[in-house]
Chains A and B, each alone.
Chain A
C-alpha cells in the first residue's frame, strides 16, 4: 500500500525564550492508506509537534516529511496551503468559527477550495448527516454541546475528501459518554469509508480502539505496535 505520510529522521527544535527545546529528536514513521493510528504519550513527549509537522502546519528543523510523496520543506506558503486542503484537521478545542452555523462551518473548507455554493451546500448536508447532526445544522457552535461541536469539526475535516484525518486529542474536552461516541464515529469512518486516521491522545483507552499504536517519549517513538 502507498504511504500517505512518511517521516524520515524528523527533528524539531523550538526556542523557548533562549533555551532550545528538542521536541522531536529523530522520528521515523510511515502511515499507509486506510490505517487507524493512535499516537500515545504524556504531554511534552512531542506528539503534538509531530502532528503539526505531518499536517504541514509547521516545517521541520531537520529530516523530511513526505505527504502523498511530496517533501513539505520544499514548498512555499501557497503550496503548503494547497496541500493542507487535502488534510482533515480535528482539534482538541474544536476550533469552529463561532459566528458561522454548523453548516457554514462545514462549508468553509470547500469555500476556501473554491467549490460552488450549491455543491458545497449539498456536501455539507451529507457530511452532517453522516455525523448525525443534520437536524441541527443551522445552529451556531455556542448552541451545540461539546460532543456535537466535535462532530461538526469531524464533518468539516472530511469536507475536501482528505487523504487522511489528523485528530489532536479529539475527546480532550468532551465527557466520557460523548467521547466514546466520537471514537465510534471515527472507527466507523475508517472501517466503512476507508479514511486514514492519525489520532494523538494521552488516553490509553482511546488508543486501544485504534489498529496501530505508537508510543512517544521525550521526542522519540519508543513503541510501535499493532493492536
Chain B
C-alpha cells in the first residue's frame, strides 16, 4: 500500500469521529500553545532586558566599587578620585578610568524642588567611555565648573510636554552636610544647564541614565568636600574574556582584594543564563501539559483500536501487512499531532501577542526618586525559529510516541481473533 493510500485511509478514520479527533487535538493545541506563548513571551522579555542592558552598559567596561562585607555591611575601604589614575597605569589593556561620585541632593529648577542623584564625573572621560549614550540632545557638554548636564527624563519627566528644565536654565543644587556631632548644614550652589542628554532608555550600571544629573568631578570634590568616590568605571581595550579577567584580577590585587570588580559583560551573561533557566522551567511546565495530551492520544487510540479490531482483521484478511497497519495507526496519531501543533503555534503566538497588547505582564515600573519619574518596559513577544520548529516537532513527536504502543498492538492482532471480535 503506498503512502498516499495509507494517509488517505488514516484520514478517513479520523474524519469519521470528528468530535473525538477534535477533542484529542485540543489537548495537543493547549500544550503547544502554552509552550509557544510562554517561550515567545519569555524570549521577548529577555530581548527587552538585554537590549536595555546593552544600552546602559558598555560591554568593554568594568565597574570597580569598594567591597562591602557579608550581608552588605559598611565597606572597609574607600575609593578615591585619584585611584582612577592608579588603575589606568595598571595595565596596557586599560584605555581609561573615570571616578564617579554620587550624592542625593535637592535641586531647584523652574520653581520646583525635587531629589535627584547628583553624579560628579569627568565629562571628557565619561564621553569617551559612553560615546553612544553620554551625548547631548540639546546644548553642549562643557567642563566648566558650574556646568550641569541632565538626563532626558529630568528634562521632560512625564513625557507629556511639561518641561522641568531647559538648556540655559539655572539650577540650585542643595546638599545637606551632616557632621558626626549632629549638626546639619545646607550647602547650595548655582549652576546652569549646558546640555540635555539624548533619551537612553533602559537600565544602567555605572553608565549614563535618563534620570541622572551630572556635574564635573572637580566641582563635586569641592562641593561635597571629599575625594572619596563611589565607583570607578574602567574602559578596556576590548571585551575578550582574557582581557576582562586579567584586568579584574590586577585591580583586585592592587587594592588588596578590598574592591569588587563587576564586568558588564559578565552581568549580561548571568542574566542570559538566568533567562535560559527560566525558559527551561517554563518549557518544562508547558511540556507537562503536552505529555498529558500525549496520554490522551494514547487513550483515544486504544479505544479506537478496540472499536476497529474487526476492521483490522478484515484488512489483514485482504492481505495487509503488519507494518502497514502500524503505519495507518501512526499516521492517525501524526495527523492529530500535526494539526494540534499547527493550530497550537498560531494560537500560542496569538495569545502571547494579546497578553503583550493588553500589557498584563509588562507593567514593570521602575520608580526613580520622588519625582514620579518612571520608566515602563514594554515586551514584544518573540518567536524564534528554534521555538517554532521545536514546538512543531515536539507536538508531532509526542503524538507519534504515544501512538506507538496502540499502533503496535493493532499491527500484532491475529487475523482470526480480530475477525471474531464483536
Chain A residues near B (Cβ < 8 Å): 52, 55, 57-58, 77-78, 81-85, 89, 91, 95, 97, 99-100, 108-109, 111-114, 156, 160
Contacts and interface: CB of A to CB of B under 8 A. Distances in A.
Contact of A78 (B310, B315, B321, B415): B321
Contacts of B137: none
B318 A85 contact: yes
A112 B318 CA distance: 8
Contact of A99 (B1, B16, B313, B414): B16
A67 B66 CA distance: 94
B322 A108 contact: no
B2 A82 contact: no
Contact of A84 (B12, B15, B317, B414): B317
B319 A82 contact: yes
B60 interface: no
B131 interface: no
A203 B15 CA distance: 40
Dominant secondary structure at the B interface:
helix
B419 A77 contact: no
Nearest to B324: A112
Contacts of A95: 310, 313-314, 317, 419
Contacts of A111: 1-2, 5, 9
Contact of B318 (A58, A89, A114): A89
Contact of A57 (B5, B15, B16, B415): B415
B322 to A, nearest CB: 5
Given A57-B416, A95-B419, A99-B13, A113 B319 contact: yes
6 contacts: A77-B321, A77-B322, A89-B318, A91-B419, A111-B1, A111-B2
Contact of A97 (B314, B319, B415): B314
Contact of B319 (A58, A84, A99): A84
B227 interface: no
B153 interface: no
Nearest to A120: B5
A124 B324 CA distance: 22
Nearest to B322: A77
A81 B322 contact: yes
Interface string B2-22: 100100010011011000000
B335 to A, nearest CB: 16
A167 to B, nearest CB: 13
Contacts of B16: 99
A81 B316 contact: yes
Given A114-B1, A156-B318, 9 more contacts: A58-B415, A84-B319, A84-B415, A89-B318, A91-B419, A95-B317, A95-B419, A112-B320, A160-B319
Nearest to B325: A81
Nearest to A84: B319
